[in-house]
Structure 1
Amino acid sequence: MKTGDAPPTDWGAEGPQGWVQARSLATVSRGLVADVEGAGARLHPVPTGFSAIDRWISGGVRAGDLVLLGGAQGVGKTTMCLQMARNIAASGQANVLYACYEHPDDYVLNRLLVQETIDPTAAGVAGVVGGLTLDELVALMAERNEQVSGKTPLEAVGDHPAGARAIEAVNAYAERFHLVTGVAHRDSIGSLKALVSQHRMRDNQPLVLFVDYLQKVQPARQDLPDEAERVTEVVQELKQLALGANIAVVAIVAAEKEGLRAPRLRFTHLRGSSALMYEADIAIIMNDKWQIIDRDRIVFNIHKSKQYRDWIVCTIEKNRSGRNLVDVEFLKRFEHCCFNPNGEIVAERLYEERIQGERE
């Protein structure tokens, strides 16, 4: 296939929903060359900043990927998703559009500020000394605002040494991090498409769309009373958006009640539809480590049992970019709205592996 040849005559046909174009491989290869020469960054993975995950998904998320992040309530899905978004924006490798359907924009900003008051990668307590918790940050805003007439909440935070560092850090990537917040409204998938389209018109930088969370997104069709049908429609639309707009999409997915009762949450326990399984390129399932660890380790070592509560296990259950069923773990720093992103492979035997071994 010679990429320098004159373009062949491509062809198409009028379908039920408009013109359908067929392109020869020669045309596709010329487009690939143009991408490499013009905007090659779109062909490269964008690291999430969580090293143990990036290592197994071939370096990060890619344009066209739909990444699903699932887990039970309170396991840290929003914390991890927001930290990934922060890492990507801070790296400068892509812009971020964070669509949050559960929290207002000031709540999201406050979590980012708290995260920036510490070094989450530092061992022990060294990295958190002098940092602010979310409650401390909010209290500082309220207290200083009452004491000093006319001072804005952020100015009040800036009077604190850790707060000043946090504001400086957030300002460094603030223009690359865009928020869409509020309750889900009619045809919110259409709104996301319009925002992504607008971004492409005004900025030629790669974009990663984060959705928090998928079941809150309203499909374009309003005649779907069943949640499974709505989720099917939304996940298919998000995958098409990733492919059509040449962006990566990362979406949080909630678990169903049956999954919450299971010994270990799996991809099949995610709420809404089996379409999730087929449309996702990468699926990461989060579980508290203490809940899925081999019980013998907990019974005979109480100290270890307490330590396990500080860790989260992320299982890469589906991975079109490499190996799947990989368990990696990250240290929680929930008081500062983040994880230590320098994770590692889980060394211990986990609950379901033990059960399977006994059955064999």
Structure 2
Amino acid sequence: MTKTQPNTDVNAEKSVLGAMLINPDAIPAVLEHTQPADMWQPRHATIMEATIHAWGNGLQVDPLVVAGEMDKAGTLEGVGGSTYLLDLVQASPTTANVAYHARRLADLALKRRVESAGTELRQLATTGGEADDILNRAQELIGGITRPNSQAIKRAADSLETVMADMEAVSRGEQTAGTPQPTGFPALDDVLNGGLRGGQMVIVAARPGVGKTVLSTDIARHVAITNNTPALIFSLEMNNAELVQRILAAESSVPIKDMRTGTFTSRTAWADIHRAADNIDAAPLYLDDAPNLNIMEIRAKARRLANQRKLGLIVVDYLQLLSSTGRVENRQQEVAQFSRQLKLLAKELDVPVIAVSQLNRGVETRGDDAKPRLSDLRESGSLEQDADIVMLIDRPDSKDPDHERAGEADIIIAKHRGGALATVELAHQMHMGRFSTMLGIAM
């Protein structure tokens, strides 16, 4: 007597395949719930792939057509020949319950993936590996367990009530799930249709020393201190003490140099510093300066905090300092992986994620008056592809201290998915680690 393998149902696999071969209309119903990788028997996965391929190419699917396609591909003999395809049809005289069987196969496959991950985790736990490495692998394993998207297609009218309710709430000044997160710069918010939204990945990029960290921290400071909404900064370049000192300077209007030397030019400096410190103390602003952070650690830490508090913003400063969890062929591929993972994190937690990034030297070779552009994003075109918004910072006085626009900065909205492109003029006060508002937008 054959022993049954846990979390498998070979008869259900045969029933699904037979239904697909009998009636092509069953194929989309199956694909809403399961996929070839969910099949326990390898030959069933091969048959399902061939059936889907034939259907996708517009062929009228039946056992003979699929057998012919598999024969051309050299896979027919390995699954038992055309005779086995006919056996599958005989094993499934009806297609009435195909969706039920497809859902069951997806559920069983999910359980097998969990079981497989658990087996690997037990093996890892008994090895002499580093605990942190084991934890990272565990998070990667669990995070990789997914099922096909089985959410049903809906009429637009099904979401109309939610959209109307959100619009009415916004008109009353109430917060909703789709309410944008203001950046603290009204001119920038106007261009961004109110601010940053959940699910968006935002690139803030500039050459070194121009102010990409300052702008990103300014936005996080506004979200946490002014809006009292949790914001999380992963700082791979500065430690927490350095970052807090910059935030304290920006919030108090006391120059960073004065704080470091203890020589204050304002008689109210200490009072301003204590007021700012109280604001920071009360704010839901979270910092992580762990060295050599990798993308899986960032996702895991962000998830844990999001389970406790509804996050309003995540900042990763900066992208090129992230370390990889595995072997990659080249740096471009590695940065592309980081970019995609941050975009998935933004969607998963429904929070805007700002990824700070370097620009390459191309902008400098074009002359002092050259403006940065999308092609200057360093190391990976995937940043441009994955990002919903790309902000490029240009400070004329970073190249020429005596420039007529000294003290000013242009925030160039070089990409804005679903919105306008523009250049927003801000003032900068780098000695206090902040940007500030200027009137007017240069289109």
TM bin, normalised by shorter chain, reads 0.7 to 0.9
Greater fraction of residues in helix: 2
Please list the CA deviations of residues 282-326 of structure 1 after superposition, one character each: whole Å capped at 9, or x if unmatched. 00111113589xxxxx9xxx9xx64402111111010114111x1
SS in 2 for 1:63: coil
Do the aligned residues in 1 keep the contact of 2:359 with 2:378 (CA within 8 Å)?
yes
TM-score, normalised relative to structure 1: 0.73
- Tell me how many residue pairs correspond in the alignment: 295
Equivalence for 1:215: 320
RMSD: 3.2
Q: Percent identity?
A: 20
SS in 1 for 2:208: coil
Alignment of 1:30-109 (within 5 A): 41-92=176-227, 94-109=229-244
Shift of 1:258: 2.4
* 2:235 is equivalent to residue 235 of structure 1: no
Do the aligned residues in 2 keep the contact of 1:51 with 1:342 (CA within 8 Å)?
no
Do the aligned residues in 2 keep the contact of 1:10 with 1:23 (CA within 8 Å)?
no
Shift of 1:159: 8.8
Greater fraction of residues in strand: 1
Equivalence for 2:153: 25
SS in 2 for 1:183: coil
Equivalence for 1:351: none
Matches of 1:163 and 1:40, distance apart in 2: 31
Matches of 1:224 and 1:177, distance apart in 2: 34
Matches of 2:224 and 2:405, distance apart in 1: 31
* 2:291 is equivalent to residue 183 of structure 1: yes
Larger RCO of the pair (alpha carbons < 8 Å, separation 6+): 1
Match of 2:434 among 318, 325, 338: 338
* 2:386 is equivalent to residue 282 of structure 1: no
Matches of 1:309 and 1:269, distance apart in 2: 23
Q: For residue 297 of structure 2, what is the amino acid of its counterpart?
A: S
Shift of 1:10: 10
Q: For residue 278 of structure 1, what is the amino acid of its counterpart?
A: Q
Do the aligned residues in 2 keep the contact of 1:218 with 1:234 (CA within 8 Å)?
no
Inter-CA distance 236–160: structure 2 relative to 1 (3 Å threshold): same
Equivalence for 1:127: none
* 2:411 is equivalent to residue 314 of structure 1: yes
Equivalence for 2:380: 273
Equivalence for 1:329: 425
Gapped regions of structure 2 (runs ≥ 5)? 1-29, 38-144
* 2:394 is equivalent to residue 259 of structure 1: no
Equivalence for 1:133: 255
Please list the CA deviations of residues 139-189 of structure 1 after superposition, one character each: whole Å capped at 9, or x if unmatched. 339x9xxxxxxxxxxxxxx9922222221222231xx1100114324xx11
Please list the CA deviations of residues 336-358 of structure 1 after superposition, one character each: whole Å capped at 9, or x if unmatched. 111113453138xxxxxxxxxxx
Shift of 1:33: 6.0
Q: For residue 299 of structure 2, what is the amino acid of its counterpart?
A: K
Q: For residue 45 of structure 1, what is the amino acid of its counterpart?
A: P
Q: For residue 260 of structure 2, what is the amino acid of its counterpart?
A: V
Match of 1:163 among 269, 273, 285: 273
Q: For residue 323 of structure 2, what is the amino acid of its counterpart?
A: Q
Please list the CA deviations of residues 183-236 of structure 1 after superposition, one character each: whole Å capped at 9, or x if unmatched. 324xx1111111121123212x2431101011112244x211421111100001
Matches of 2:292 and 2:185, distance apart in 1: 29
Inter-CA distance 309–45: structure 2 relative to 1 (3 Å threshold): same
Do the aligned residues in 2 keep the contact of 1:70 with 1:267 (CA within 8 Å)?
no
Matches of 1:345 and 1:194, distance apart in 2: 39
SS in 2 for 1:196: helix
Matches of 1:196 and 1:30, distance apart in 2: 32
SS in 1 for 2:147: strand
SS in 2 for 1:178: strand
Q: For residue 207 of structure 1, what is the amino acid of its counterpart?
A: G
Which 4+ residue blocks in structure 1 deviate beyond 4 angstroms?
15-18, 27-40
Shift of 1:28: 9.0
Equivalence for 1:122: none
Please identify the structure whose Cα radius of gyration is greater: 2
